[in-house]
Structure 1
Amino acid sequence: MMSSLYTIPPHNTSPEIDALFQWASDNGANVEQVRVEQNNLGIRGVFAAKDFAPGELIIHMPANCILGADTARLSAIGQAIQGAANADQSEHAYLAMFMLADKAHAMSKWNDYYNTIPWKFTDHPLFYGEDRLAQLKGSAALEIIYRRRFSLQQSYQSLTDVMGKMQEFTLTDYLNIRTAINSRCFAANLNGHPQVAMIPLVDILNHAKDGNCQRGSDQGGYSVWAKGPIAEGTELTHNYGNKNPQRYFAHYGFLHESTEDDECTILIQLDSNCPALTEKMKLLNISQPVLELVLGHNISQGIEQAMPLLRVAANKTGLFAKSRLSGKQPSNTDAAALLLLETGLKNKLRCYQANKHTPFSGNSEPIITGLLQREKQLLQNYLTACSQAKLAV
């Protein structure tokens, strides 16, 4: 035990955070060199309590301070789930049901941790009402949210069918804890057992495209190290991973600052009367006469990668040879392909224009406005490049 040697870093944001630090230290964690406070956005974050050299250890959480899926699976409620063939057997589901049941126990080992995580997410996109969701019309984020809701509803139903009256958790309870897990869990290898895990304190680190920390499984637990020199008082950050803004918004409820991962998805409708339709669909590996194109932030690269598919979609004659999918093409072939691209881009933009909650109506929330503006700007950039390319063929 380290409690007699432990001093809580100054300026922690709440008694709950102080209790978490004390609990972690008592259980062998190395947390003495950081503190938790509000950052300049008003969001809770982890800050350096001293200067760190490159590669220096900042935080270490031993396995006994980490709530892993294995712990949840071996619990009474986990065993009940494991014995039911039709129940959701995902690691996230095991953690969710364990945490909901365990939180009700006053003597739970994890109470100091539970007191620091959110249990309600009223402002998270997953919990938006229909009016707020209507503001997202046109965005791929809307489909992600609806798919996520449906998936979690199915998971909840499969678990309540198994548990019956054994546990009285509402769908809202389940959606909230699954959101907490999804936004805070890590892939960890705990004493040789890979699993999804909730890692106290580490889960408070915020995202940055160029995070100043690296993290990973270490000594049977989980550690955070400095990537480079870090001065005392600097917020400690890490990269949540490469995701497009729609996924960051739908899963975490924020937009990251970088536009490098921005992308847009458009649909290209194939001519259903084309005699080569069946051949086209087979070559494009689609089951319906609709081609989905995902266009990334790099405009020229996006068009270059899309053109082979668009040439097939625009072709009227059939007789497709793989050698014709790329390389220099007859001008009329590229013109037809670019026309399809232009039509798809314009149709996508009309989806936003049909939305009565436009970013300029005064009804949209800033984060929704920001998301839609980024999506529309990328589409406009592609449309401009497409028009220029048409003039060149």
Structure 2
Amino acid sequence: MKPNRGRTGRRRKKKEISAVNKSLEGQYIQLRKWLKERGFQDNQLRPAHFSDTGRGLMTTRLLQPGELIISLPESCLLTTGIVLLSYLGKYIKGWRPPISPLLALCTFLITERYAGDQSPWKPYLDVLPTAYDCPVYWEPELVNYLPEPIKERAKEQQRAVRELYSSALPFFSSLQSLFSESTENVLHYDAVRWAWCTVNTRTVYMKHAQRDCFSAEQDVYALAPYLDLLNHSPGVQVEAAFSQERRCYEIRTKVQYKKYDQVFICYGHHDNQRLLLEYGFIAAGNPHQSVYVTRDVILQNVSSADKQLQKKWSLLKENGFLE
């Protein structure tokens, strides 16, 4: 399985986009069977490999604006509620100070992956990337090639994941009884980095009630198997939300798709810096693209003899262009 590439729509000129249906591959057969057992019914989307984006979902029929693309039952979603009902629940509820909802999900992903065939989430885990393209995976030499504003953000991301891991070590130690004594360390940094990227790049927004067993950090995560195969394109419009009435996470398209087209969603009006940091890709022709300019770059390209410099500088600051 390739790393997390192909999460965005990229247009290639003078080259026809081809798609190869992947729905008959073993891992996708098992995933769809697993989802069906949990109440998911879908006959219009199929996993496919596209020449311009890599893995994605294509439609098997014409889709009109306003139509439901996908409706994923709550029983298919992986949330902190599922984690608390699992073997990890008693450890989380008894731990002080409380851990974050993010750490709870990361820990569950790692321990379920370790469980292998014994995990009820195996069909989903098998289709997840084994590595990601987010800056947290980059070597320092590569990070140093980035322009200054995004370089600092990339380093912040790397520090944040290392701090998450370091702060979780006492909690991880409390889980040692879950693993065989002969087992090497399961909850190591690389595993946490993988789990963090899985949550960060693949969750949909779903607000949950605050629980005393978690820290004050907002619990807005839900991993959505199959739905998360949908790639991002900045030009599409969708409506996405959890339906309290139907107890499903639903996405409706606002644009038309022809039969066998790749179906896209939009992660938000993000510029390429945000996309690279959060998801590990950039979008060609991104209408939301921005250029980040540092104070030093501005000073290098203006004359110190400019009598209006101070006034211009104040205007930039007042309008938030120096942040």
TM-score range, shorter chain: 0.7 to 0.9
SS, match of residue 292 in structure 2: strand
- Confirm or deny: 8 A CA contact 1:16 1:116 kept in the other structure: yes
- Amino acid in the other structure paired with 2:194: N
SS, match of residue 228 in structure 1: coil
Deviation at 1:176, TM superposition (A): 0.9
Deviation at 1:238, TM superposition (A): 1.1
SS, match of residue 254 in structure 1: coil
Give the gaps of 5 or more residues in structure 2: 1-19, 177-185, 212-218, 299-303, 317-323
Go from structure 1 to structure 2 and tell me whether the alpha carbon gap of 1:74 and 1:10 turns closer, same or farther (over 3 Å shift).
same
Q: 1:73 aligns with which of 71, 80, 84?
A: 84
Q: 2:26 aligns with which of 15, 38, 55?
A: 15
Give the gaps of 5 or more residues in structure 1: 1-8, 270-291, 293-313, 315-330, 343-393
Q: CA RMSD in A?
A: 3.1
CA distance in 1, matches of 2:288, 2:134: 24
Go from structure 1 to structure 2 and tell me whether the alpha carbon gap of 1:119 and 1:260 turns closer, same or farther (over 3 Å shift).
same
Residues 370-381 of structure 1 correspond to what in structure 2 (within 5 A)? none
Q: 2:109 aligns with which of 99, 110, 116?
A: 99
* Alignment-derived partner of residue 294 in structure 2: 266
Deviation at 1:263, TM superposition (A): 3.3
CA distance in 2, matches of 1:147, 1:249: 14
- Confirm or deny: 8 A CA contact 1:31 1:58 kept in the other structure: no
CA distance in 2, matches of 1:198, 1:90: 16
SS, match of residue 71 in structure 2: strand
- Amino acid in the other structure paired with 2:169: T
Residues 139-288 of structure 1 correspond to what in structure 2 (within 5 A)? 139-164=148-173, 166-167=175-176, 168-188=186-206, 195-218=220-243, 219-257=246-284, 258-267=286-295
- Amino acid in the other structure paired with 1:249: L
Go from structure 1 to structure 2 and tell me whether the alpha carbon gap of 1:216 and 1:335 turns closer, same or farther (over 3 Å shift).
same
CA distance in 2, matches of 1:63, 1:116: 20
Q: Percent identity?
A: 20
Q: 1:131 aligns with which of 132, 141, 153?
A: 141
Corresponding residue pairs, total: 271
- Confirm or deny: 8 A CA contact 1:216 1:224 kept in the other structure: yes
Deviations 1:152-172 (A, max 9, x none): 212112222123163431101
Kindly report structure 1 stretches of 4+ aligned residues shifted beyond 6 Å. Answer: 339-342
TM-score of the aligned structures, taking structure 2 as reference length: 0.74
- Confirm or deny: 8 A CA contact 1:49 1:232 kept in the other structure: yes
Residues 254-333 of structure 1 correspond to what in structure 2 (within 5 A)? 254-257=281-284, 258-267=286-295, 332=307
Deviation at 1:189, TM superposition (A): 5.5
Bigger Cα displacement from structure 2, 102-111 vs 64-73: 102-111
CA distance in 1, matches of 2:172, 2:187: 10
Deviations 1:112-135 (A, max 9, x none): 1111111323x4321111221221
Specify which structure has the higher proportion of helix: 1
Deviation at 1:336, TM superposition (A): 3.5
- Confirm or deny: 8 A CA contact 1:124 1:252 kept in the other structure: yes
Deviations 1:204-237 (A, max 9, x none): 1111112254322121121122213221111111
Go from structure 1 to structure 2 and tell me whether the alpha carbon gap of 1:13 and 1:243 turns closer, same or farther (over 3 Å shift).
farther
CA distance in 1, matches of 2:164, 2:93: 14
Residues 343-358 of structure 1 correspond to what in structure 2 (within 5 A)? none
Bigger Cα displacement from structure 2, 212-221 vs 74-83: 74-83
- Confirm or deny: 8 A CA contact 2:234 2:287 kept in the other structure: no
- Confirm or deny: 8 A CA contact 2:143 2:154 kept in the other structure: no
Deviation at 1:340, TM superposition (A): 8.5
- Confirm or deny: 8 A CA contact 2:236 2:255 kept in the other structure: no
Q: Which has more radius of gyration?
A: 1
- Confirm or deny: 8 A CA contact 1:86 1:158 kept in the other structure: no
Q: 1:62 aligns with which of 48, 59, 73?
A: 73
- Confirm or deny: 8 A CA contact 1:213 1:238 kept in the other structure: yes
- Confirm or deny: 8 A CA contact 1:186 1:199 kept in the other structure: yes
CA distance in 2, matches of 1:42, 1:264: 26
